Amino acid sequence: MKAAAPKALAAAMALVLAAAACGRKPSGAAGEARPLTIAVIPKGTTHEFWKSIHAGAARAARELGVEIVWKGPQKEDDRAQQITVVEDFVSRGVDGIVLAPLDDRALMRPVRDAAREGIPVVIIDSALQGSDYVSYVATDNRKGGVLAARRLGSLLQGRGRVFVIRYQEGSASTTERETGFLDTVAAEFPGLDILVKDQYAGATTETAYQLAENLIGRFPDVQGVFAPNESSTFGTLRALQESRLAGKVVFVGFDSSPKLVQGLRDGAIHGLVIQDPAKMGYLGVRTMAAHLRGEPVEKVVDTGVVLATRENMDAPGIRSLLVPGLAAIDD
């Protein structure tokens, strides 16, 4: 009976050591006990843009052998919900967070808190103030606004009455697009008369539609419109169609969805500034995994932006961005 005591003690100590090993965060090196777990937090989950980001993130996860957890607010104006999601992932002790902040100031504190807990953050899509993050992976949003202004200005031959449908305050990505558009109009197309430039559509297609409908009612002789994201573009398209101005008013929007692509083909939309959201999600996860594994990463990664028109929309490089595959998402 006495001989059994050392054996029991040894077995108990082995269990304790095994439990401690399971509780350690993995380094990402070969032989790790479990794959890296990376939380990917979008601004919202309903628009086609975010579905493409999810697809790219899922593809990177499969290639790298890491696990992603996808969760975000349903609506893109729910700052409190996105903050809660970040805080929950910090409490769970994920290895890293890839975040598209829907407000460039409101998300500063939770990102700072994550960094203090040893959980690094990669920012995607929309900039965040401060410096408590590893890398920023996104479109050159200002350049996108410049492309939109040059398309609209050239089609109007530098003269006409125009309004800008803004997205929402605090969204750094769309603010940069709007600023790029307005600055380019002022510098290169002084003959364009900006009728409205301080009205915000909000986070949904419906609120964008209501604003566009109201502005068209106020300015029925409008000749050009710019909208800076998917929901504002689709809401404006609906308002132009219902007022029978689609195709008559020069309309340049941002992002892609099946209905927007059809609007471009039909001539109701005269240009769509296209990002590469799948690439953004893919590089966001790859950048985080590289950082967690001790590899150097770039502080800023530009994922590209192009202008799609009715004339070039079937070119392979443009079409692949207008109609991205979503097959990489694991249900």
Q: Judging by beta carbons within 10 Å of its beta carbon (0-12, 13-18, 19+), is residue 200 exposed, middle or buried?
A: middle
Q: What is the pLDDT of residue 97?
A: 98
Residues 83 and 69 in one domain: yes
Beta-strand pair 67-70/37-41: parallel
Residues 39 and 85 in one domain: yes
Residue among 274, 273, 265 nearest 246 (CA) = 265
pLDDT one-digit tens code per residue, 172-228 = 999 999 999 999 999 999 999 999 999 999 999 999 999 999 999 999 999 999 999
Give the strand pairing for 160-166 and 224-226.
Answer: parallel
Q: Answer yes or no: do 269 and 292 share one domain.
A: no
What is the tally of structural domains in the chain? 2
Strand partners, 38: 68, 96
Q: Is the same domain home to 198 and 233?
A: yes
- The CATH number given to whatever domain includes residue 190 is 3.40.50.2300
Last residue of a domain, one of 274, 293, 322: 274
Q: Give the tens place of pLDDT for each residue, 33-89.
A: 589 999 999 999 988 899 999 999 999 999 999 999 999 998 899 999 999 999 999
123 falls within a domain: yes
The whole domain housing 63 covers 34-139+277-303
Asked, for residue 319, whether it belongs to a domain, the answer is no
Please state, in angstroms and as integers, the Cα–Cα distance from residue 321 to each residue in 96, 306, 315, following that order: 28, 9, 10
Instruction: Kindly tell me the sign of the dihedral angle through the C-alpha atoms of 209, 246, 225, 177.
Output: positive
Please indicate, yes or no, if residue 94 is contained in any of the structural domains. yes
Give a yes or no: residue 97 inside a domain.
yes
Whether 182 is covered by a domain: the verdict is yes
- Residue 290 lies inside a defined structural domain of this protein: yes
User: Which of 187, 268, 277 minimizes the C-alpha distance to 227?
Assistant: 268
CB distance 281 to 48 below 8 Å: no
246: DSSP letter: B
Question: Which residue has 């950082």 as its token pair?
Answer: 291
Pairing state between β 160-166 and 121-124: unpaired
Beta bridge partners of 272: 253, 308
Q: Give the separation between CA 204 and CA 47, rounded to whole angstroms.
A: 9
Q: Are residues 101 and 181 in the same domain?
A: no
pLDDT at 15 over 80: no
The letter for the amino acid at 276 is D
- Cα torsion at 234, 238, 241, 242 (round to 10°)? -170
Task: Say if residue 74 is in the same domain as residue 63.
Answer: yes
